Amino acid sequence: MQQALAEDLSHGDVTTSALFPTALQATATIVAHQPMTVAGVAVAREVFLTVDPSVRITTAIKDGRAVKPDTTVLTVQGDVRSLLMTERVAVNFLQQLSGIATLTAQFCAAVRGYPTRILDTRKTTPGLRALEKWAVALGGGKNHRFSLGDGVLIKDNHLAVLRSTGIDVAGACRLARAGAPHGLRIEVEAKTLQEVKEALAGKADIILLDNMSPALVRQAVALIKQRALVEVSGGMTLQTVAAMAQAGADFISVGALTHSAPAANLSMDLSTSRGHRARGR
């Protein structure tokens, strides 16, 4: 948050300082302009209070709540100079995080009725992973690893190097089991049914079926027979995710939740006690 504020305010706000040399009380109202799952209100509050601890938060929608268009998400009262300086950073956080939460909620709705959980990935904006994964959770999704130290996930590049030394998927699982910290689950990627068989031979806890068709996923699930959990990944969309859930996936990981979620449509309006009102940019 400090870094985000520094981007805008490291050299001050020359426009606001020139136009408002003295204090003027105003009200900032942040409004949602589309149906959305709200995320980032707590962050926006801190942004306003960091710039000016004297501002008053008079309305604040709870993070994770689904709202309709024209819903007031946050209302802040205080010196107009503080509100103007803070506007862009506060709204940016709300737009980005609400976009992620809204898309996550849509994916979760698409698999409703199946015992399948929607997962995020590490495909996050550098420096914003904790906030973006928080937004995923607010939208109903489940967080995968926060960092490389949170779990063993043997991916295609690991396997490519190991194969050059004569080690197959089963051997990779055994190496990970022997060398990883005690208690961590072993997850391994499989692109073919043969690799699924090797993962089972290596006693993987989770088998990640990557870029398989729903029909092939169904075959893999039948082969696994609940001896491991099944995660599916690879270009998931709102149009295809239900078919993967129907095929028997326990988890579906969706990189798009954080790397391609469209920003939610919110804006900040300012008004003064004199009745003037302006739409923010």
Residues labelled catalytic: 88, 123, 155, 189, 210
Cα separations in angstroms, 270 against 29, 47, 78: 6, 17, 11
Do residues 281 and 270 lie in contact, with contact meaning Cβ atoms separated by under 8 Å?
A: no
* Residue 216, CA atoms < 13 Å, CB-side half-sphere: 15
Helix (H) or strand (E) segment spanning residue 82: helix 80-110
Cα separations in angstroms, 44 against 90, 128, 129, 172: 5, 14, 17, 45
CA angle 230, 136, 104 (to 5 degrees): 75
Rounded to whole angstroms, the maximal C-alpha distance in the chain is 77
- Would you tell me the crossing angle of helices 129-138 and 80-110 to the nearest 10 degrees? 60
CA distance 280 to 172: 55
